Amino acid sequence: MRLAFVFFLTYLKRRLAYRGDLFVQMLDELLRGGVALAMLSIYASKTNSLGGYSPDQLLFVLGFSLVPISLFHCLCSNLYQFNSRYIIEGNLDRVLLRPYPVYLQICFDRLAIEDLSGAILGTVLMVIAAARIPGFDYGPAHLAMLLVMLLSATVVVVGVFMAFASLGFWFEDRVGMMPPVYNLMEFGRWPVGLYAPWLKLLITCVIPFSFAGFLPASVFIGGPWWPLAAAPAVAIASLLVANLLWRMGLARYNSAGN
């Protein structure tokens, strides 16, 4: 933990040396959230209810979903380029020589603190939506549950991308599976009842992005209560599967080159 803190301070000093670049990248993350908000506004202008949920309720879901993905961008964004940077270019050899957990080294190689602006935007959207939702519970227990759901959603996102990054040990391709999987995450922000059965099964049971957005958020906007227990369980299962694949991949890694 002490080394992790040193890594963080070192990267923070490096980023703050170029404040203009940091500010521009913060705006970039905010623009991503702005585009998602604009899409929601367009959909809401066409109907008063989408999948049985009002625009204000869906605004809460949107704000909720922005937090875990922003935390993932901040802490684990290196997974997105794991295949090209670490396996194909051979940087994993350097990492393996150091007496520190491989996964944490890869994450700490780049801490995108500018992406925390997305988490701030998501929190603001949740607060605005909660003020518009009649009877929203602001009690300590309810807010504690919200924190647990946000943590579970973040772990789900990390687990999914860690698992797909691990596939790079078997399929050495510069791009890998990350772009299509990342795009699939958009489906997790909307009511699962809108989708065809095969797509609902995909984003709930196979690649559980619905547990990183709509399902845990729906608990707080009048949805069913079962995700309250299911979301932490899915988060733990995702992380266990990802960790297993990661360890299996490291065991078969044969260094770069031919």
pLDDT higher than threshold 70 for residue 175:
no
pLDDT-based confidence at 176, cuts 50/70/90? low
Q: Is residue 100 part of a domain?
A: yes
Residue of higher predicted confidence among 29 and 213 = 213
Range of the domain at 100: 2-252
- CA gyration radius, the chain: 19
Instruction: Give me the helices (H) in the chain, please.
Output: 2-16, 19-46, 55-76, 82, 91-96, 102-108, 116-132, 140-166, 178-184, 197-201, 214-218, 227-252
Q: Is residue 104 part of a domain?
A: yes
pLDDT higher than threshold 70 for residue 99:
yes
Q: What CA–CA distance (Å, rounded) separates 90 from 257?
A: 8
Q: What CA–CA distance (Å, rounded) separates 16 from 111?
A: 12
Give tens-digit pLDDT for 246-256.
999 888 888 76
Per the CB < 8 A criterion, the answer to whether 90 and 149 are in contact is no
Indicate the range of 15-19, 37-41, 115-119, 141-145 predicted with least confidence: 15-19
Mean pLDDT for 141-169 is: 92
How many structural domains are present in the chain?
1
Q: Is residue 257 part of a domain?
A: no
Indicate the range of 11-20, 81-90, 219-228, 230-239 predicted with least confidence: 11-20
What the block records as the tokens of 159 is 């687990």
